[in-house]
């Protein structure tokens, strides 16, 4: 790829015996919002923190804006912006002071006032950091990640631990970055976030990329089938379930049968008939259009959110 701004090749990192990243490869083009989707502990944060220059890699090659994060860390830090996980600011620093302080570290920087306005923090600018709500802290973190007008912006789980409404506020912010054609590397374990915000997504599990593509491409992998999730009062064999009308695939995930069907109405009718004949009962039934969750289940046999 000619204008890949971010390149990761066979990245490996372990902490003692724990293999956090086991050969991750992907590249991100300028102006793209790229998502790393995976459960907690999949190696997303480690990957991102290696790209940011916060951690060293064990093997493989990475390049960010044409720089080696380890060797050219000073130059790199001028070019990137980041909102980290497990971070904080001093309790008694005011919002405006924090953003001005960080602006002062960079050769090129945006107007702190304007950034606060844009992130809806204008009326909080004189508040102490400790007085902000979780959502406000997160918005400040994203605002601070943009303070140097970075070429690449890393957002590590920007919505983790926020309630859905606040999460949507952060989505708006990221969508705006996308409209601005900023290069963003986003990590998340929320399906919705990856589908809605990312141009391309790499699904990561146990330190490897198990699928990569646009959300649409990835969903097409599940064969355009509809997912039917059924919990039954008594177990049935996978074979029986697969013989139901229209079913192309069956998986058992946490005592729920996940059926992939080409003709959902017929499948449900034949399922109900079958259960009646067996004296079995439906405990619950859910029908969902294909999502990245299906891709994940298909590839790993597990749900994303454990």
Partner 1 sequence: MKNFAALTRMRVQLAFRNKMFFFFVIVMPLVFFFLYAGVFAKSVPRIVSFYLGPVLAFNVMGSFWGLSATLVMFREQGILRRFHVAPVTASDLLASSIVANYVLTLPTVTLELVLARLIFHVPSIGNPISLFILLSIGILSFGSLGLVVASVTNTMQETQVLNQLLWLPLIFLSGATFPLAYLPRTVQRFGLFLPATYLVNGLQQTIIHSATLWSRYVEILSLAVWACLTFFLSAQLFRWEPEAKVPRRTKMLVAATAIPFLLLGIVENVSDRILREAYTAFESFTSAPATRRPPSLSMPGKPGEASNPSRSSQNQARQ
Q: Which residues of this chain interact with partner 1, rule CB under 8 A?
A: 52-54, 74, 77-78, 80, 82, 84, 86-90, 92-93, 97, 101-102, 104-106, 128
Closest CB to partner 1 among residues 87, 214: 87
Rounded CA-CA distance 125/122 in Å is: 5
Minimum distance between the CB of residue 217 and partner 1, rounded to whole angstroms?
32
- For the sheet with 282-288, list strands across it: 247-253, 256-261, 226-232, 282-288
Closest CB to partner 1 among residues 4, 54: 54
Minimum distance between the CB of residue 104 and partner 1, rounded to whole angstroms?
5
- What are 240's two structure tokens? 């029986």
Minimum distance between the CB of residue 125 and partner 1, rounded to whole angstroms?
15
Closest CB to partner 1 among residues 106, 171: 106
Rounded CA-CA distance 70/56 in Å is: 7
What does DSSP assign to residue 175? H
Q: Do 245 and 59 form a contact (C-beta atoms < 8 A)?
A: no
Minimum distance between the CB of residue 225 and partner 1, rounded to whole angstroms?
42
Minimum distance between the CB of residue 50 and partner 1, rounded to whole angstroms?
12
Phi and psi at residue 233, in whole multiples of 5°?
A: -75, -30
Minimum distance between the CB of residue 54 and partner 1, rounded to whole angstroms?
6
- What are 290's two structure tokens? 């294909």
Using a CB cutoff of 8 Å and minimum separation of 24, what contacts does 206-215 make? 206/22, 206/42, 206/43, 207/19, 207/20, 207/21, 207/22, 207/23, 207/24, 207/42, 207/43, 208/22, 208/23, 208/24, 208/43, 209/24, 209/25, 209/26, 210/299, 210/300, 211/295, 211/299, 212/26, 215/292
Closest CB to partner 1 among residues 153, 173: 153
Q: Do 268 and 286 form a contact (C-beta atoms < 8 A)?
A: no
Using a CB cutoff of 8 Å and minimum separation of 24, what contacts does 298-301 make? 298/221, 298/222, 298/249, 298/251, 299/203, 299/205, 299/210, 299/211, 300/205, 300/210, 301/251, 301/253
Minimum distance between the CB of residue 74 and partner 1, rounded to whole angstroms?
6
Minimum distance between the CB of residue 14 and partner 1, rounded to whole angstroms?
14
Tokens 């006032």 belong to 113
Strand-strand pairing, 80-83 and 200-205? unpaired
Minimum distance between the CB of residue 46 and partner 1, rounded to whole angstroms?
12
Closest CB to partner 1 among residues 101, 282: 101
Q: Do 290 and 227 form a contact (C-beta atoms < 8 A)?
A: yes
């Amino acid at each position: 790829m000619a204008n890949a701004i971010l390149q990761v090749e066979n990245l490996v990192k372990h902490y003692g015996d724990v293999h956090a990243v086991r050969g991750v490869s992907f590249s991100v083009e300028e102006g793209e919002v790229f998502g790393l989707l995976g459960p907690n502990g999949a190696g997303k944060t480690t990957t991102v923190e290696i790209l940011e220059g916060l951690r060293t890699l064990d093997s493989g090659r990475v390049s960010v804006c044409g720089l080696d994060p380890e060797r050219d860390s000073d130059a790199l830090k001028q070019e990137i912006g980041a909102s980290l996980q497990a971070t904080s600011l001093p309790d008694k620093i005011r919002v405006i002071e924090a953003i001005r302080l960080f602006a002062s570290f960079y050769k090129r920087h945006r107007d702190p006032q304007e950034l606060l306005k844009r992130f809806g923090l204008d009326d909080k600018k004189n508040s102490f950091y400790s007085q902000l709500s979780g959502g406000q802290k997160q918005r400040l973190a994203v605002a601070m990640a943009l303070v140097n007008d970075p070429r690449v912006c890393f957002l590590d789980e920007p919505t983790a631990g926020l309630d859905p409404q606040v999460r949507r506020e952060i989505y708006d912010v990221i969508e705006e970055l996308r409209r601005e054609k900023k290069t963003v590397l986003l990590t998340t374990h929320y399906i919705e976030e990856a589908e809605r915000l990312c141009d391309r997504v790499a699904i990561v599990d146990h330190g490897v990329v198990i699928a990569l593509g646009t959300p649409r491409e990835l969903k097409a992998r599940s064969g355009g089938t509809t997912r039917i999730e059924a919990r039954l009062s008594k177990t049935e064999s996978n074979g029986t379930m697969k013989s139901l009308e229209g079913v192309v695939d069956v998986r058992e995930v946490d005592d729920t049968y996940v059926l992939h069907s080409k003709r959902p109405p017929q499948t449900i009718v034949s399922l109900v008939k079958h259960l009646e004949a067996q004296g079995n009962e439906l405990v619950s039934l859910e029908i969902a259009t294909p999502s990245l969750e299906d891709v994940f289940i298909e590839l790993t046999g597990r749900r994303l959110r454990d």
